[in-house]
Amino acid sequence: NAGVTQTPKFQVLKTGQSMTLQCAQDMNHNSMYWYRQDPGMGLRLIYYSASEGTTDKGEVPNGYNVSRLNKREFSLRLESAAPSQTSVYFCASSEAEFYGYTFGSGTRLTVV
């Protein structure tokens, strides 16, 4: 089925390790997003890419970097993981404001 694919689904990191979360969509959407979900806090926007070649900070960008590799792919990198980055990470894409988002299945990250 068409949609948003995220890898990996689960990851455990030690403090200070780095990793990249991968996201790809096959719906030809222009915009892509990274959110983190924490209990009682809903979803918070980390970074977004309104179109290929552009990226911008969201509400909680500290400790993260992103790359919009092409129109399909938008990766999120943690350079030096911290326990505060333990969370569930969702990638999403959208075509226009009328259609909301299509979400990936999420990455559950634990930093110990």
CB of 101 to other proteins, least distance (A): 6
Question: What does the binding site for other proteins look like in residue numbers (CB under 8 A)?
Answer: 30-31, 33, 35, 40-45, 48-51, 54, 56, 58, 90, 94, 96-101, 103-106
Q: Give the helix ranges, DSSP H, for 14-105.
A: none
Cβ closest to other proteins, residue 75 vs residue 103: 103
Classify residue 29 by its DSSP letter.
Answer: -
Find out whether 107 and 19 touch, Cβ atoms under 8 Å. Answer: no
Paired residues of 24 in beta bridges: 5, 73
Q: Which tokens belong to 45?
A: 């926007």
Cβ closest to other proteins, residue 92 vs residue 111: 92
CB of 74 to other proteins, least distance (A): 12
